[in-house]
Structure 1
Amino acid sequence: MMVKPSPMEGACNARRRTASLATDSMATVAEQHDGKPANGLRWRAHYGCPAAGSTTIPLVFLLLLTGALFLILGPTGSVLNLPSLRVVFSNPIHIAAAAPPAPPPVAANVSDEDIGLPPPRQLTDPPYSLGRTILDYDARRSAWLAAHPEFPARVPPAGRPRVLVVTGSAPARCPDPDGDHLLLRAFKNKADYCRVHGLEVYYNTAFLDAEMTGFWAKLPLLRSLMMAHPEVELLWWVDSDAVFTDMRFELPWERYAAHNLVLHGWEAKVYEEKSWVGVNTGSILIRNCQWSLDLLHAMAPMGPRGPVRDRYGELFARELSGRPPFEADDQSALIYLLVTQRERWGDKVFFENSYELNGFWELIVDRYEELRRTGAWPLVTHFVGCKPCRRYADSYPADRCRLGMERAFNFADDQILRLYGFGHESLNGTAVQRVRNETGGPLDAEDEELGRLLHPTFRAT
């Protein structure tokens, strides 16, 4: 198949044939004029036709360009390197590397718990509140209970009030490697007590309100639990560093029927001495009612972290005997309200000192062996001044606190392990040994106390 040339190509070919004939004629003429060639090439260019073999020119240009680029951009070790030029300025300009942004400064008095929280409330800000004021709570709760008989406020055995044990710890892990283990053992202790006595338990690890950290975290928590659990009659707050050390003891619930707040303490120390240790709030009972919500709301404005808490701490140091001038705490705030507003709160507060609702650990932990023989066991051993998580400095030597907690945990755990035939070799260590043989009839155990602990509801019926 033949390809028809374009008009321009056809014209150029014709011109080439004509030029060739002309050139041949010129050659003949040249021979006749002393051998000088005729100017046939100039004639060919005049007509605008490319010379023969001109298609090789772009290829040569491409090869030259590739070689030049290789010489300029080729590897540094090549023998074909071109000479490099080095320009030196008399006043060189130094460009410093950009430094990473500095973290925001942290105030010297900010604790680990406050890092990442919004700025603290200032004295010029509106007073703090737990939330909107709740009115007619008692009537609304009674209506809810009447509409939900499947959730009675009193439960067996013996129709005691429904109780929710509330405890917890900070959201972040402990800086001390052993702290989380101590908190685990402390919660295990509370779970054992609740299981034996048929109590419900709630463990909290969150700040429900960024304003109320540290001592004050219990206020928004208790308020939220009250409204979320109208079936609960009493909430029993227990600090994370408080240990149940009498697993058999049942609280005298009916003794508190006419009161809304049960504190371990002494009335004279509060109202006469105004002592800031007249009560201890590490283990308290508070009723789910309007009076309790009002009390929490009255305490709350004293607790926001920052300048407000510091200012109330100074006030408590002036008004309460023996109190150092540190930031405000919930215990001092409660005593301050009882002293200054006794007519409003006093009638509904019960000061319990007939048993150790909140026993001070230093007077107890070294006497466990003696107490075991006499049977006068403290219900709660509270390690006031010791910090299991070590977020703050202990008021007592850390080794002393740790050994005391170990003894308290083991003293309480022995009462549980005994149900299954085991006990600790020593209160100072975790090793256990068998203390009795199993029986063939677990529900017919000769020890009535053991049977009651194993099956409290069964024994009650």
Structure 2
Amino acid sequence: MFQDGSRSSGSGRGLSTTAVSNGGWRTRGFLRGWQIQNTLFNNIKFMILCCFVTILILLGTIRVGNLGSSNADSVNQSFIKETIPILAEIPSDSHSTDLAEPPKADVSPNATQRKVWLNQNPEFPNIVNGKARILLLTGSSPGPCDKPIGNYYLLKAVKNKIDYCRLHGIEIVYNMANLDEELSGYWTKLPMIRTLMLSHPEVEWIWWMDSDALFTDILFEIPLPRYENHNLVIHGYPDLLFNQKSWVALNTGIFLLRNCQWSLDLLDAWAPMGPKGKIRDETGKILTAYLKGRPAFEADDQSALIYLLLSQKEKWIEKVYVENQYYLHGFWEGLVDRYEEMIEKYHPGLGDERWPFVTHFVGCKPCGSYADYAVDRCFKSMERAFNFADNQVLKLYGFSHRGLLSPKIKRIRNETVSPLESVDKFDIRRMHMETKP
């Protein structure tokens, strides 16, 4: 009995002990399960957050990747507006040097400083003989052309510009230095223009002209009074610019920029789109998306200016004169074969399609190893344009080329007996024909 009691008692103590032990295990198991569940829940929340961030990044990447598509203009325009303000913050992928760094000097009071300088230096007036002082800037790369014949035609183009400037009292600067390593190629002109503006306060207008452009109306003069209230004069077509947003609406191969604070501000807004490398590549994508007909390539100065004038119209366009009443830029292909007709029907001094002021050989690239047109055709056309213009200069001296393709000249007047009779009649410096629209 005792044993039974002992068993019973033992059994009861054992049962009681087992019950407590199982209850404690269940409690500890419940707590551990809750901790595992809580940790798992937190991990799931973290994974969901990571997935959400990843999706956002992918969407942004897809959005950028689709930027070049011309079929998504509405999306592109929105993205462009968001992107362009921070474009200047993108670091260049090449190392800059001290030479390449933009000027740090504060030029905001330039107008006041320039006025003071002009008053203190009356021997350098900005108005000469009633006309604003102009400095024509042109240039080419520091090295020689890829082909010797390219150097030959660059020389002819320089001679042509010197003739025009000499006859019209215009100063000329031929630049072969790259003032900013980052702004190469099309962009080289911008730092040079800025430097000349600050270095020559006596100059009222800086006139940029590409090396492959020739004056073909030696008598014609820029109608500066027309631009009294404007600071940038550039050849173009308002419809292509404002309605079609075409990338060829303007031509930055030839333009005039007034020496003033507005122009310095424009250059400061224009140049940040040009540094070579990542900035130029990314800007090119934006320009291609924004401008009609623009191929996909790195940013060029012409597209960048058009974009700037359209996207910030309120800031710039009021001071821009889009000129098309005469050929400040005349595309060569439709002009060079008509020179004989022009000589027969018209006369110099018109500047328009009847006698083009400038013939610009866009796409010929005489100094490069490749061109958009046949090399022989380009050089033959440049020869015709040069001789067409040179005849207008030689006329004063009684000579003319034997033909528009001939470098040889012939005498057209005999002035041995009375050499001064023809001076007043043929001297371009005395002929001031007003340009008519």
- TM-score, normalisation: structure 1: 0.69
Spell out the pairing of 1:33-432 with structure 2 (5 A cutoff).
121-122=92-93, 130-132=102-104, 133-156=106-129, 159-373=130-344, 374-375=346-347, 376-391=354-369, 393-432=370-409
Q: Residues of 2 paired with 1:351 and 1:232: CA distance? A: 22
Deviations 1:300-352 (A, max 9, x none): 11101122111111111110001101111111110000110000000000011
Q: Residues of 1 paired with 2:235 and 2:371: CA distance? A: 23
Aligned partner of 1:7 in structure 2 is none
Deviations 1:164-212 (A, max 9, x none): 0000000001111111111110000000000110110000001011111
Moved over 6 A (4+): none
State the one-letter code of the partner of 1:147: Q
State the one-letter code of the partner of 1:320: L
Aligned partner of 1:52 in structure 2 is none
How far off its partner does 1:148 sit?
Answer: 1.0
Distance 1:318 1:351, change over 3 A: same
Q: Residues of 2 paired with 1:447 and 1:230: CA distance? A: 34
| Percent of pairs with identical residues | 53
Does the 8 Å CA contact 1:130/1:300 hold for their aligned counterparts? no
Q: Residues of 1 paired with 2:417 and 2:427: CA distance? A: 14
Does the 8 Å CA contact 1:130/1:297 hold for their aligned counterparts? no
How far off its partner does 1:122 sit?
Answer: 2.3
Aligned residue for 2:251, secondary structure, equals strand
Does the 8 Å CA contact 2:219/2:431 hold for their aligned counterparts? no
Q: Residues of 2 paired with 1:414 and 1:352: CA distance? A: 27
How far off its partner does 1:268 sit?
Answer: 2.1
How far off its partner does 1:441 sit?
Answer: 4.5
Q: Figure out how many residues of one structure are paired with residues of the other and give that number.
A: 331
Q: Where does the alignment leave 5 or more consecutive residues of structure 2 unmatched? A: 1-90, 348-353, 433-437
Aligned partner of 2:427 in structure 1 is 451
Distance 1:129 1:324, change over 3 A: farther
How far off its partner does 1:414 sit?
Answer: 0.8
How far off its partner does 1:369 sit?
Answer: 0.5
Deviations 1:256-303 (A, max 9, x none): 111000011112211111011111011100000000000001011110
Aligned residue for 1:173, secondary structure, equals coil
Of stretches 215-224 and 369-378 in structure 1, the one that deviates more from structure 2 is 369-378
State the one-letter code of the partner of 1:134: V
Q: Where does the alignment leave 5 or more consecutive residues of structure 1 unmatched? A: 1-119
Distance 1:286 1:322, change over 3 A: same
Which structure has the bigger radius of gyration? Answer: 1
